Amino acid sequence: MKVIAKSWGLPILLLFAASADVRTVLADDVRTNIASRGAFEAKAQYCGYCHGPSGQGYRGYYTMPRLAGQQSEYFVNQLRAFTDGRRGNTFEMKMARVHAVSQAMRLALATRFGKLNPRPFGGAPTEHVALGKKIYEEGVPEANVPACAACHAPDAKGAGTNPRLAGQLYGYTVRGLINWSKDRGQDHAHPDTSAVMLPVANSMSKQQITAVAAYLSTLK
């Protein structure tokens, strides 16, 4: 027994030492994950102050867009666009730059809000909904306005870099389309996917814009 004890003593001590090291590494990893989780929850809560805790948006003096159900790829691209100065909205650009987040955090936020699906705010003028539906599904060929459904899907939930429009707040959509050339693609040396929408937005009349925005605001 003494021989066995002597022969196994060192390996056993090494095993205990290794186990202690593993426990230390695991404890550090847990602490890191908890800290990261806390940072993520804080950032998600911060987004919720303006966009609503369920990402439903906010309708008031300054309408904040719905984030709930948004396509992750589009969500991430837009956060990057604000940080890079490719979107011209001064308030949101400042928020993005002051509270700059990593790519991993952008993806995490996109995943969180993408899974939410609150009821749409609505509140748009209902007399324009039928016209908006027609434009969304068929476009306005004589005005070179293609069907919105071609890129944003028949249910308006988008795909990839093409954003979800279903349930978007009426005022936000109207403002976005009217001010497209002033807000999107501000870095002309590095055009992004927003350039695709520029001729469409410029070809739409105010009536067509308000009609499409009214229709989209009703979709779940």
For domain 61-217, the CATH class is mainly alpha
Calculate what percentage of the chain has a pLDDT beyond 90: 59
pLDDT exceeds cutoff 90 at 34: no
**pLDDT tens digits for range 79-113:** 888 888 888 766 665 666 656 778 899 999 999 99
Identify the pLDDT of residue 5. 40
* Residue range 129-146: mean pLDDT, rounded: 97
Integer-rounded Cα Rg, in Å, for the chain is 25
Identify the pLDDT of residue 123. 87
Q: Is 168 exposed, middle or buried (0-12, 13-18, 19+ CB in 10 A)?
A: buried
User: For the chain, which residues make up each domain, given as ranges?
Assistant: 1-46, 61-217
3-state secondary structure the chain: CHHHHHHHHHHHHHHHHHHHHHHHHHHHHHHHHHHHHHHHHHHHHHHHHHHCCCCCCECCCCCECCCCCCCHHHHHHHHHHHHHCCCCCHHHHHHHHHCCCCHHHHHHHHHHHHCCCCCCCCCCCHHHHHHHHHHHHHCEHHHCECCCHHHHCCCCCCECCECCCCCCCHHHHHHHHHCHHHHCCCCCCCCCHHHHCHHHHHHCCHHHHHHHHHHHHCCC
Identify the pLDDT of residue 81. 87
Cα–Cα dist 185/146, whole Å: 20
Identify the pLDDT of residue 37. 83
Which of 26-35, 44-53, 152-161 has the lowest average pLDDT? 26-35
pLDDT exceeds cutoff 70 at 121: yes
Identify the pLDDT of residue 116. 97
* Residue range 131-142: mean pLDDT, rounded: 98
**pLDDT tens digits for range 167-220:** 999 999 999 999 998 888 777 777 777 888 999 999 999 999 999 999 999 999
pLDDT exceeds cutoff 70 at 35: no
Handedness of CA 76, 182, 144, 139 (dihedral sign): positive
Identify the pLDDT of residue 19. 43
Tallying the residues shown for the chain, one arrives at 220
Give the list of residues 6+ apart from residue 56 with CB closer than 8 angstroms, or none.
66, 68, 116, 118, 119, 120, 121
Handedness of CA 62, 65, 67, 71 (dihedral sign): negative
* Residue range 3-16: mean pLDDT, rounded: 39
* Residue range 150-174: mean pLDDT, rounded: 97
Identify the pLDDT of residue 1. 42
Read off the pLDDT band of 151 (50, 70, 90).
very high
Q: Residue with structure tokens 């003096």?
A: 61
Rounded to the nearest integer, the mean pLDDT of the chain is 83
